[in-house]
Amino acid sequence: MSASNATMPVTVTALGAGDPAGRRWLRRFVPLITVAAVLAVLAIWASSRELDSIEARTLNWDYIIAKTGEHLILTLVASALVAALAIPLGIAVSRSRSRIFRGAVGVVANIGQATPAVGLIILLAIAWQTGFVTALVALVAYSFLPVLRNTVAGLDQIPASVRESARGMGMTAWQSLRRIELPLASPVIIAGLRTALVFAVGVATVATFINAGGLGDMIVNGLKLQRYPVIVVGAVLVASIAVLVDWLAGLVEDLVRPKGL
């Protein structure tokens, strides 16, 4: 009995159950481990099935990697454009005292997200052209609002006394923004970017309707041809990308968060 009790603390510590840092590390990597497990099960399931000629043309590594690459490129480029456009505009809105300007920007940003994603992409394709660029514009419009709104909210929540202290130290408005305000607002801004990234991953699936590629091709083809293994693989891949993108953005949020917040 005493021998068993003596070994218990060693076992618990080895598993990380009594270590707060170990628990934090485990929680941080749970999404990655879960996605890896789901993809492994999916690969085993798909490879164990007897595929017909139509399914075989889709459920092969070359096709899946190509469509996943198209989906990631569309998502990441759109998210980068959203960050490059929405964050500076959010800074301008937070600095502006004009209610008309703030209201007008909010209305325009709301239009993109209020419009259904499929409708927005189709309307742009009819008015302009089909292809990657049109899908990119639609994704930017649809994902713009969360980043803009969070940038404004993150900067507005900083107490005026912080800005006054920065000015008292001899900082210019730009120096105060760059050194103090943006770092303090960064958790809120990155939370908006996380939301925009997940939106972009999901909306990118409908880019297939205007010949922009992506994993939406798999899902739509599976639906049209009633090949359910193709639908399942495409849907699980899209969901996995969304989880991984959100997880990576969460890591970035932890890294840039100022100490003490």
Q: pLDDT for 1-43, tens place per residue?
A: 444 444 444 444 444 445 565 666 667 888 899 999 999 999 9
Q: How many CA atoms, within 13 angstroms, populate the side-chain half-sphere of residue 113?
A: 16
Length of the chain: 261
Q: Is 212 a residue whose pLDDT tops 80?
A: yes
CB 72 within 8 A of CB 240: no
Note the CATH architecture for domain 54-256.
Orthogonal Bundle (1.10)
For the ranges 12-16, 108-112, 132-136, 149-153, the lowest mean pLDDT is seen at 12-16
Predicted local confidence at residue 15, as pLDDT: 42
pLDDT digits (tens, 9 = 90+) for 54-91: 888 888 889 999 999 999 999 999 999 999 999 999 99
Residue with more model confidence, 25 or 108: 108
Percent of the chain with pLDDT over 90: 37
